[in-house]
Structure 1
C-alpha cells in the first residue's frame, strides 16, 4: 500500500539496540516530539498529555533511578539481566516520559458529570495516541525507540528528581537513539481472527 501514513507506521518498530549516532540536534528532536504530542487528539480537546524530555546525563539518570527502584523488587540472581536491559535504554540519546495531568481529567469530570466515568479512560486513549504519534515521528526521522512501562515503580523518584507536579501521572517511558541493530521481521495474526467487515 502506497499510503504515506501507512508507510510511516511501518517504520515504527521496537528498537532495543540504541546508540548516540544521530544527525539531529537535541533542539530538533525536542521540536519533533513537541509537535507530535501537540497534534495528537484528546477528548474535548483537553490536551491532558504532558511530557518530560530527557537528554544525555538526565536520561541516564532516569534509568539509574529505575534500576535502584527495581533492585529491592527483583531477585538478586535475576538482577544482572535487568541491569543489562536498563543499560540498553540508557545507551540512547534520550528518553521521553509520558504523563497525563489528572487535574485536567478531574476538571472535565466536574464540568461534564454525565461522562465522568469515561474521562480517565479517554485520558488513557490520549496518552496512547501521543505515544504512537511520537514514536512514529521519531521513526520517520530515522530515530529508534521503544515503549517501556516502569511506572509506578519509579514514579516517586522521578517526581523528586525533576520536580514533577503532583497532578501528573506517569504512563510510559520512551528511550530513543540511533538504530544500532536491524529489526526482525514483523509477523501478524490471521486477518480472520482480527477483523470483521460488514457491508
Structure 2
C-alpha cells in the first residue's frame, strides 16, 4: 500500500471522482487536478468498469490512503459514485462539489449504458438520503443526461445547495469544457461554509 498523503487541517486534499469515461486529458477535472497541490484522482478500473460496488471501492481505497481533511469533486456518474459511497461510510468529509449528475433513472442517450445494465450493476435506484457533509450540486439547464428539475430534486434529497450553471451541456469537453475556473471558487465556498460551521 502506498504511504498516506500527508495533509494538515488547513490544507485539505481534493479527491477527484471522474465519471464512467475516467481520465480525459482536456476535461475540467483533469485540468483542475493539474493546478492543485494536494489532489488525488480515483484511478480507472481495469475490470468491472460498470460495477458501482467496484467504483465505490476504488473511491474508498483512495480516501483511506489520505490522512486529514478531504473535499470530493465529482462529475457525471462520479457524482453517483460519491453518493453511493457516502451511504456506506463513516469517514468525515469536509464537503463535495457534485457537478451535473446524470439522471440514471431515465433511459440514457444512445452510446451510454442501458437502464438494464445500470440496474444490474447496482446504480439504481439513485440514493436519496441526505448526505453527511455539505454539498454544492451544479446543474446545467440543457444537460442531455438530466433535466434541471430532476437535478434539483436530487440536490434537495441530498441536502445540497443547488446552483444553476446555465447552458453548459454536460460540462464536458464535448460541451466545450475544458477549463472550468468556477470549480475552484465553489471548492473555496465549501471550505468557507465548513469554517463558519465549526467556528
TM-score higher than 0.5 here?
A: no
Range into which the TM-score falls when normalised by the shorter chain: under 0.3
Higher helix share: 1
Using the size of structure 1 for normalisation, the TM-score is 0.27
Q: Which has the larger radius of gyration?
A: 1
Q: Which has the higher contact order (CA 8 A, sep 6+)?
A: 1
